[in-house]
């Protein structure tokens, strides 16, 4: 009976020690990035979703975004951008995002993606990456405390098991299943 108890106890302890390792393999929570206006409330984050809100004034609610309001002045355009534009004027065929040549359309999705990332980097009003990093840091603050509490519970359970084992050994209890074999007949 004692070997079975020892095996069960070791399996329980192994499960308790493995729990933090399993928690590390959990996927990153989803990030819900929103723009809220005026006194609108920001939705509350849940366990599996980080909600980050960028707040703008109420006057901005129905306006055209700032980066689309003003027309670019060609005189203010960088010389490098003009050269790049001239280099791509005659680019045709596959991966070119042009209506000319076979497969000219194949480069358009890549161009749209690159333009979107460039626009996101240059937007001075909304810095979701910084807001997401702050929310993640806030969540990580409780991680060490949770780990310490779990470790303390495990140590208490280990001590209880050790005390029980020592108590049984001190009593000298014999297992009723451990009976000496009867002496053979003469």
Lookup: tokens for 160: 């209880």
Whether 118 and 151 share a structural domain:
no
The burial of 34, by beta-carbon neighbours within 10 Å (0-12 exposed, 13-18 middle, 19 or more buried), is given as middle
Whether 144 and 107 share a structural domain:
no
Within a domain: 156:
yes
* Assessment of whether the complete model's pTM goes beyond 0.85: no
Task: Pick the last residue of a domain from 93, 108, 124.
Answer: 124
Whether 37 and 118 share a structural domain:
no
- Is residue 97 predicted with pLDDT exceeding 80? no
Whether 83 and 120 share a structural domain:
yes
Whether 131 and 158 share a structural domain:
yes
- Is residue 181 predicted with pLDDT exceeding 90? no
Q: Indicate the number of domains in the chain.
A: 2
Residue 55 belongs to domain spanning: 27-65+127-167
Whether 118 and 132 share a structural domain:
no
Within a domain: 2:
no
Within a domain: 15:
no
Q: What is the mean pLDDT of residues 104-128?
A: 78
d(CA 99, CA 108): 10
Whether 79 and 118 share a structural domain:
yes
Q: Is 36 helix (H, G, I), strand (E, B) or coil?
A: strand
pLDDT category of residue 135 using cuts at 50, 70 and 90: confident
d(CA 47, CA 59): 33
Whether 55 and 40 share a structural domain:
yes
Distances in whole angstroms, Cα of residue 35 to Cα of each of 42, 60, 67: 9, 11, 15
Q: Quote the pLDDT of residue 153.
A: 95
Within a domain: 185:
no
Whether 31 and 117 share a structural domain:
no
Question: Per-residue pLDDT tens for 5-18?
Answer: 554 556 555 555 55
């Amino acid at each position: 009976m004692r070997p079975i108890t020892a095996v069960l106890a070791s399996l329980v302890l192994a499960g308790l020690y493995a729990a933090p390792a399993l928690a590390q393999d959990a996927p990153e929570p989803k990030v819900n990035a929103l723009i809220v206006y005026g006194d609108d409330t920001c939705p509350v984050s849940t366990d599996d979703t980080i909600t980050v809100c960028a707040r703008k004034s109420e006057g901005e609610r129905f306006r055209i975004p700032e980066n689309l309001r003003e027309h670019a002045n060609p005189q203010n355009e960088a010389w490098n951008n003009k050269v790049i534009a001239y280099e791509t004027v005659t680019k045709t065929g596959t991966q070119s995002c042009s209506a000319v040549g076979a497969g000219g359309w194949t480069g358009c999705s890549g161009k749209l993606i690159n333009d979107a990332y460039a626009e996101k980097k240059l937007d001075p009003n909304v810095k979701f990456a910084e807001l997401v990093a702050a929310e993640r840091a806030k969540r990580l603050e409780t991680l060490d405390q949770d780990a310490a509490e779990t470790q303390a519970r495990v140590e208490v359970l280990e001590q209880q098991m050790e005390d029980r084992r020592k108590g049984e050994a001190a009593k000298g209890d014999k297992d009723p299943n451990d009976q000496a074999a009867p002496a053979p007949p003469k």
